[in-house]
Amino acid sequence: MELEGRGERILRTAGELLVAWGYRRVTIEEIARRAGVGKGTVYLHWKTKDALLLAVVLDSKQDALERQLARMRADPLEVLPSAVMSRYYCDALESPVLRAVHTDDSGVLGRLGDIAAVELAELVAHGDRALDRHLGALRACGLVRDDMALADQRYTLIAILVGFFMADTYLDSRAPAVTEPRARLLAHTVQAALETPAGPTATPDGLPDADRVREAAARAAPGIIAVYEHIAQLSAEEMRRQLRP
């Protein structure tokens, strides 16, 4: 539909301006002009500038989540924390909006970060619970260590990811110049911190370690995928909440 097409164009334009100009300088008038629509058309979709720019952040997160789900559906090994975190890291660095979010770039986000912390608090809480269920499923299959509290594992996982994002900012030229080596280091760090060295530790079944890991991951994958499909649904509902009724 034409209205939907215009909404998508407005959203894309708003994201480009947010990254190029930063939250403070972006105006609805300029978004409308560059999207080739009237200012009133923007307000047909979003009540305020904040609602529109929150939708930009949500849309970027939703895109990364859909990529994650596609990988999990294609290969059960993609449910392992080392795979999830390293792939997401690459996806986020390719997305100017997510890069700004994860490096806490105040020049881009301005007060949008504070607004998002309030407006998206419930969605973030759902995400934390989803990660707990994800880790719990892997613990049950012997793919993740069970000698740490689950909450501590969630904290460790998030802290590692945040650390890699922030290191890109603070280390500058001392970090590897391209993304892939950093992603491999991230995967190795997560693997060493959380994952079991040789997969499930049940009674030996004659399978090589790699096959046992894949078989266990295949058992866990459907439930984990369902968890993130639910998060994708909640995110889509939040996107709709930002729209003008």
Output the domain CATH number for residue 4. 1.10.10.60
Same domain? For 67 and 16 the reply is: no
Is 18 part of any domain? yes
pLDDT given for residue 171 in this prediction: 77
Low-confidence ranges of the chain (pLDDT < 70): 1-4, 198-208, 245
Same domain? For 120 and 16 the reply is: no
How far is Cα 142 from Cα 146, in angstroms, rounded to an integer?
8
Same domain? For 15 and 78 the reply is: no
pLDDT given for residue 4 in this prediction: 61
Same domain? For 193 and 124 the reply is: yes
How far is Cα 54 from Cα 75, in angstroms, rounded to an integer?
32
Q: Domains in the chain: how many in total? A: 2
Is 50 part of any domain? no
DSSP state of 174: G
Cβ contacts of residue 198 below 8 Å, gap of 6+? 209, 212, 213
Same domain? For 85 and 30 the reply is: no
Is 51 part of any domain? no
* pTM of model > 0.75: yes
Same domain? For 20 and 78 the reply is: no
pLDDT given for residue 1 in this prediction: 36
Lookup result for tokens 């894309």: 12
User: CA dihedral in degrees (48, 52, 57, 58; nearest 10)?
Assistant: 100
Same domain? For 141 and 80 the reply is: yes
Structure tokens at 24: 């403070």
Same domain? For 222 and 140 the reply is: yes
pLDDT given for residue 30 in this prediction: 96
Same domain? For 21 and 123 the reply is: no
Is 76 part of any domain? yes
Q: What is the CATH number of the domain that holds 167?
A: 1.10.357
CA-atom Rg of the chain in angstroms: 20
Same domain? For 84 and 168 the reply is: yes
Same domain? For 32 and 128 the reply is: no
pLDDT given for residue 170 in this prediction: 81
Residue 24: which domain range?
A: 1-45
pLDDT given for residue 154 in this prediction: 96
Same domain? For 38 and 63 the reply is: no
Predicted confidence (pLDDT) per residue in 22-67, tens digit = 999 999 999 999 999 999 999 989 999 999 999 999 999 999 999 9
CA distances in angstroms from 41 to 21, 28, 34, 209, listed in the order given:
22, 10, 13, 58
